[in-house]
Amino acid sequence: MERLDAFMARANAAYYAERDPFADFTTAPEISQVFGELLGLWAGAVWVMMGKPAQVILAEAGPGRGTLMRDALRCIERMMPDFRAALRLHLVETSPRLRAAQSDLPATWHDAVTDIPGGPMVLLANEFLDALPIRQFVRRADGWQERYVAEGAFVEQASLLDLGNHPEGSVVERCDVALELVRHLAARLMRQGGAALLIDYGPAESAPGDSLQALLEGRPADPLREAGRADLTAHVDFAALVRASAPLRPLGPVPQGRFLADLGLFRRIDRLAAGQPPEQAMALLAAARRLAEPDGMGRLFKALALCHPALPLLPGFAV
């Protein structure tokens, strides 16, 4: 018997080490190069607002194939050469297979965000938090029970945690690893300056519900029966992350569509499309729409920035 978070950590470590995740799902940077470009320039804007420190860490957690960072760096090189000269790239990746896919990037690799060396930092993470292991609790008549996994099924054990007032049968999730990560960022960014941009899917307000899901070859699968073969994810509880991030200043979460449009997604697409044959221009626009429209990834996905309080309002979070 294994607690759900231990099960999920083990299953995902095996999954990311042995399988090609991008056969099972498509992420924003794989849909349009503009996603990485805009995030790269966002990082540059933070650097400018920090007062252009001579050295700054540009970090990414869970870079996957490295696509976001490749697009970001290309754009930074062209548009903000002074930022390019100041930045040192640090990537947090546990999968040897994905590290190999990122190996052309001029970076230093780490197993955990806590291993990144000190100094002012801008951290980017897209679809990283949803892969982190969660715990689940179920409200029963006589109190809270925690979910464990044994032989492909849930087993419940009484829990002493007080998880609030919810009707019988409610499932409440908690991602301890994500909360610890945000507490670490709070301490670090308060001391050394910078900001973190977290983009993922989940509701803006905490709500009970079982959001654990498995994708196997692009199709939903039983999360408990395909350990290591399927990608396991859960909704990110942005409100809980915001509470854990004090005393940083949270910006958002705002819907991804609004965030990207604010950063100039469609202006950039128009530039790229100009002079292209109509089919290519249409494909560029379709990709942008998929990222930004409410029935694509525009509403379910959210952007949350956690900033040193001395930073002014950052791009993409206009009220």
Q: Do 309 and 248 contact (CB within 8 A), yes or no?
A: yes
Residue 127 found at the interface with ligand SAH (CB under 6 A): yes
* Number of Cβ atoms within 10 Å of the Cβ of 241: 26
| Choice between 65 and 166, CB closer to ligand SAH | 65
| Choice between 27 and 211, CB closer to ligand SAH | 27
Q: Hunting for tokens 């252009």 — which residue is that?
A: 52
Q: How far is the CB of 203 from ligand SAH (least distance, A)?
A: 20
Residue 98 found at the interface with ligand SAH (CB under 6 A): yes
Task: Return d(Cα 22, Cα 218) in angstroms, integer.
Answer: 9
Q: How far is the CB of 25 from ligand SAH (least distance, A)?
A: 8
Task: Return d(Cα 234, Cα 134) in angstroms, integer.
Answer: 7
Which residues, numbered 220-259, are part of the site for ligand SAH (CB under 6 A)?
none
For the chain, the first-to-last Cα distance in angstroms comes to 48
Among 27, 136, 170, 206, binds ligand SAH (CB under 6 A): 27
Q: What are phi and psi of 209, to 5 degrees?
A: 150, 150
Among 128, 148, 201, 259, binds ligand SAH (CB under 6 A): 128
* H/E stretch holding 73: helix 67-79
| Choice between 199 and 273, CB closer to ligand SAH | 199
Q: Hunting for tokens 């993922």 — which residue is that?
A: 200
Which one of the spans 27-35, 134-142, 234-242, 271-279 is the region binding ligand SAH (CB under 6 A)? 27-35
Instruction: Identify whether 247 is preceded by a cis peptide bond (ω within 30 of 0).
Output: yes
Which residues, numbered 61-90, are part of the site for ligand SAH (CB under 6 A)?
62-64, 68
Tell me which residues touch ligand SAH (CB under 6 A). Answer: 12, 16, 21, 27, 29-30, 62-64, 68, 92-95, 98, 126-128, 131-132
